[in-house]
């Protein structure tokens, strides 16, 4: 069973026809995928492998405007990075949701205010 994480917290999975990609998907295939898929799920094999974030950002730059989901080994500390790179949501296991409860994910939901750019702007205005 899985749990979906959004800026609003935990929610159930919804039925969607996903175009599944792995972190080792070739960048050259992204423009075609961006223009043909409606919903893309990028699977992270390890929380230490950031290639999925790069793929998400590249898909958005290629014009993908559909639903983009990170799945697999993504942890709460990576939620802000997931959102900044273009993901709409994160799919986690119920086991991870138990170890990292909703409050941990929601603490990172204000991802736009906690990036390095926002911190830099705040330090310059102070």
Give the start-to-end residue ranges of the domains of the chain.
2-125
CB 102 within 8 A of CB 9: yes
Residue 17: both structure tokens together: 């026809």
Query: Using 50, 70 and 90 to split pLDDT, how confident is the model at 116?
Result: low
Q: What is the pLDDT of residues 56-114, one digit of tens each?
A: 999 999 999 999 999 999 999 999 999 999 999 999 999 999 999 999 999 988 866 65
Per-residue pLDDT at 110: 81
Per-residue pLDDT at 15: 73
Considering the segment(s) 2-125 as one domain, its CATH architecture is Alpha-Beta Barrel (3.20)
Per-residue pLDDT at 124: 61
Q: What is the pLDDT of residues 32-65, one digit of tens each?
A: 999 999 999 999 999 899 999 999 999 999 999 9
Query: Using 50, 70 and 90 to split pLDDT, how confident is the model at 126?
Result: low
Q: Residues 36-40: contacts with CB within 8 Å, 24+ apart?
A: 37/64, 37/66, 38/66, 38/67, 39/66, 39/67, 39/68, 39/69, 40/64, 40/66, 40/67, 40/68, 40/69
Per-residue pLDDT at 66: 96
The 10 Å Cβ neighbour count of residue 50 is: 14
Q: Where are the alpha helices (DSSP H) in 1-126?
A: 30-36, 51-61, 79-85, 94-99, 102-106, 116-125
């Amino acid at each position: 069973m899985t749990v979906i994480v959004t800026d609003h917290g935990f929610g159930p999975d919804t039925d969607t026809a996903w175009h599944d990609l792995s972190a080792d998907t070739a960048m050259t295939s992204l423009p075609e995928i961006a223009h043909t898929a409606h919903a893309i799920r990028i699977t992270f094999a390890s929380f230490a492998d950031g290639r999925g974030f790069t793929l998400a950002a590249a898909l958005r730059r290629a014009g993908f405007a559909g639903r983009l989901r990170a799945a697999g080994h993504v942890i709460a500390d990576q939620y802000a990075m997931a959102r900044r790179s273009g993901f709409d949501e994160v799919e986690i296991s119920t086991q991870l949701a138990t170890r990292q409860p909703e409050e941990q994910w929601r603490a990172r939901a204000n991802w736009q205010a906690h990036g390095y750019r926002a911190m830099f702007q705040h330090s310059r205005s102070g």
